[in-house]
Every structure is written in structure tokens, then in C-alpha cells.
């Protein structure tokens, strides 16, 4: 049996746990799950880091904390102007934050464009120009984005 699969005897844990006995237990748990620094949290409430981690393991707070990645990213983003970080770290944190939904799940958003609908919106003249030389109307490329003919790469067609 792996150590992580080991069941914790709740009664035994609570009897000797400094966090369980602490009058501000709920606040401590809430702050820890909101990604407060474990060392600072322990110091603030007169606990040891080990007792916080044992308590978190006994009550499966690691899972709750992991679902709350948004809080950790919010801390990074909020501190961007007060600490020395590079722009890439801040941008990465913002991008990651945007991909986490309210349930703490990572969501890769995608966008789909139905080209048939776009071609059906084209006028007869736009369709003829496309058939003749592959020219798409400006409104088409603003919806779809760059097309191969818009590429700046030299495809060897000089």
C-alpha cells in the first residue's frame, strides 16, 4: 500500500493536532487552501510547517488547495508591481489564470469557424474573384484570420 493511500484515523489525528485545537482552525484552513505561504502561516498562528502539512493531509486539503489554483495565480498577478519578476512570468500567470474556470479546472478554449457559412455570405463578385485568383474579401480574413496567401514567408514562388 502506498503512503498516500493510507487512511488517517481522524479521532487520533484530532486528539494531537495543533491545528485542530487552534481557535482559528477554519481561518487557517481557508488561508492555506487559498495558497497562503505555509511557513508564514505557521509563524502567524504559532504552528509548525509540519503540523500544517500533517493536518492538510489528514483532511485532504491538498486536493482543495489544488482546485484553487486561481488564488495562487491571483497572488502572482497582484504582486507583479511590487516584486522583481520578468514580464514573461506575469504574462504566463495571466494566461494560466484565464484558462482556469470557477471550479478550478483547466479549460483550453477553442474557437471554430464554419467556412461554409462564410462562403455562403460572399456576393457573386466576391465568389468570382476567389475562383479566378484566390482573393478573399477583407471581411472574410478579419473573421478567419491570416490565410496562406497572407503569409510573409517566401514559399519559393518568386
Q: What would the pLDDT profile of 8-38 be if each residue is shown by its tens digit?
A: 778 888 888 999 999 999 999 999 998 889 9
> Widest CA span of the chain, in angstroms?
82
Lowest mean pLDDT among 5-9, 119-123, 150-154: 150-154
As a whole number of angstroms, the distance between CA 71 and CA 37 comes to 12
Phi and psi torsions of 76, nearest 5° = -65, -45
Block residue for cell numbers 484565464 = 98
Do 7 and 60 reside in the same domain of the chain? Answer: yes
**Could you tell me what percent of the chain has a pLDDT over 70?**
82
Number of structural domains, the chain?
3
Q: What distances in angstroms separate CA 20 from CA 27, 66, 125, 148, one per listed residue? A: 11, 21, 75, 63
Do 8 and 54 reside in the same domain of the chain? Answer: yes
Do 75 and 33 reside in the same domain of the chain? Answer: no
Give domain status of residue 154, yes or no.
no
Do 77 and 91 reside in the same domain of the chain? Answer: yes
Give domain status of residue 128, yes or no.
yes
Give domain status of residue 33, yes or no.
yes
Residue 139's domain spans which residues? Answer: 115-149
- At 154 the pLDDT is 45
Do 19 and 40 reside in the same domain of the chain? Answer: yes
Amino acid at each position: 500500500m502506498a503512503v498516500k493511500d493510507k487512511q488517517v484515523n481522524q479521532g487520533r489525528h484530532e486528539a494531537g493536532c495543533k491545528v485542530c485545537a487552534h481557535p482559528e482552525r477554519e481561518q487557517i484552513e481557508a488561508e492555506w487552501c487559498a495558497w497562503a505561504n505555509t511557513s508564514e502561516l505557521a509563524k502567524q498562528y504559532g504552528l509548525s510547517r509540519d503540523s500544517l502539512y500533517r493536518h492538510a493531509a489528514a483532511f485532504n486539503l491538498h486536493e482543495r488547495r489544488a482546485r484553487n489554483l486561481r488564488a495562487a495565480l491571483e497572488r502572482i498577478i497582484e504582486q507583479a508591481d511590487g516584486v522583481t519578476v520578468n514580464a514573461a512570468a506575469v504574462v504566463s500567470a495571466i494566461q494560466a489564470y484565464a484558462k482556469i474556470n470557477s471550479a478550478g479546472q483547466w479549460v483550453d478554449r477553442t474557437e471554430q469557424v464554419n467556412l461554409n457559412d462564410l462562403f455562403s455570405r460572399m456576393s457573386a463578385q466576391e465568389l468570382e474573384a476567389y475562383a479566378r485568383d484566390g482573393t478573399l474579401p477583407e471581411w472574410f480574413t478579419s473573421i478567419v484570420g491570416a490565410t496562406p496567401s497572407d503569409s510573409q514567408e517566401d514559399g519559393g514562388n518568386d
